[in-house]
Amino acid sequence: RKLEFSLRRALERNEFVLNYQPVVDAKDESIVSFEALLRWHSEEHGFVSPAKFIPLAEDTRLIVPIGEWVLREACREAANWPSNVKVAVNVSGEQLLEQNFIATVVGALSSSGLAAQRLEIEVTESIFVRDSSAARGVLEQIMALGCGIALDDFGTGYSSLAYIRNLRFSTIKVDRSFVQGAAADNPESLAIIRAVVAMAESLEMSTTAEGVETERELAIIRGLGCRKIQGYYFGRPMPATDARALFGRPQ
Ligand code: G
Ligand code: G
Ligand code: NA
Ligand code: MN
């Protein structure tokens, strides 16, 4: 297929860039981390949405070399930031369960000089579906390095409490659909966020509300006690230079 043909050449042609979206502390709005988000500007296809090429990269296993580039690039960039600011990197199941994944993380950390504590790996619930014990084993090794593990899009997949019992995630990311529901006074969304926050707090995990776009969503999410907030309200995914510039001026 044509898109796949282009995707195979995208790395060597330097067609990928990372954008960075700020995550802020819900209390004082200071930047606690940035999530690295992959962008592809293809010579043949122009801008291709990650929603389109990430699944293709997963199916073709191209996500392994692409994901390695993402890890290295994100760590290299984050090493320039203030030392209290972390970077979060999305990792697909295909990549996580690949033989050399731990070595790739160790390599990205050592070549960038980034402290392991400043790297958070984001995984979705789907990684536990295929081989739950293998995924858990890899995540435990990543945690042993000192990295954090965030559970992304929580509540939208096959939410099982078994892996929350078995793994000490650093952060649970509450999916944007619940944030929108809560702001629309949807009682189920409100109750679920409240329950997820309470569960996370008692397990000493942090929470991030995803996709906060409006003043109203912000106020409601704050009231529900989420620790961290991510969304267009505080910043869209932006080029590395724009992210760096945010540290130049008072927040
Ligand atoms: O910003 P947004 O449109 O970038 O992201 C779309 C989807 O692509 C999200 O589900 C996001 O997690 C995923 N994604 C973005 N960057 C990466 C990446 O570097 N690796 C993987 N595996 N997924 C990514
Ligand atoms: O699957 P994951 O949660 O990693 O994907 C993050 C996606 O959400 C990215 O595509 C990012 O651009 C998008 N995103 C981040 N903040 C907002 C927001 O406030 N509103 C909307 N609509 N999308 C957002
Ligand atoms: Na993510
Ligand atoms: Mn998410």
Tokens of 152: 């992304």
Is the pTM above the cut of 0.90?
yes
Query: In 3D, which of 19, 29, 33 has the Cα closest to residue 119?
Result: 33
Judged against a pLDDT cut of 80, whether residue 159 lies above it is answered with no
Look at ligand 1, atom 8, and give the residue with the nearest C-alpha: 50
Indicate whether 250 pLDDT > 90: no
Tell me which residue has its CA closest to atom 8 in ligand 2.
211
Report the separation in Å between the CA atom of 54 and the middle of ligand 1, taken as the mean of its atom positions: 7
For residue 208, what is the enclosing H or E element?
A: strand 206-209
Q: Report the pLDDT value the prediction gives residue 1, as an integer from 0 to 100.
A: 64
Catalogue the long-range contacts made by 202-209 (C-beta closer than 8 Å, 24 or more residues apart). Answer: 203/164, 203/168, 204/168, 205/168, 205/169, 205/170, 205/171, 205/172, 206/170, 206/171, 206/172, 207/171, 207/172, 207/173, 207/174, 208/23, 208/150, 208/171, 208/172, 208/173, 208/174, 209/26, 209/174, 209/179
Query: What DSSP character marks residue 117?
Result: G
Distance 9 CA to ligand 3 centre (A): 25
- 26-35, 134-143, 159-168, 196-205: range with lowest mean pLDDT: 159-168
With a pLDDT cut of 70, the percent of the chain lying above it is 98
Look at domain 62-155+162-235 and name its CATH class.
alpha beta
Q: Quick: pLDDT tens for 21-50.
A: 999 999 999 999 999 999 999 999 999 999
- Judge whether 37 and 50 are in contact, CB under 8 Å: yes
pLDDT grade, residue 173 (50/70/90)?
very high
Determine the residue of 7, 15, 18, 54 to mutate for testing ligand 1's pocket, defined as the one with the most ligand atoms within 8 A of the Cβ atom.
Answer: 54
Q: Mean pLDDT across the stretch 154-177? A: 91
pLDDT of residue 131: 87
CA of 139 to the centre of ligand 2 (A): 24
Q: Which atom of ligand 2 is nearest to the CA of 35?
A: 4
Tell me the average pLDDT of the chain. Answer: 96
For the chain, the structural domain boundaries read 62-155+162-235
pLDDT at 251 over 70: no
Among protein residues, the one whose CA lies closest to atom 1 of ligand 2: 153
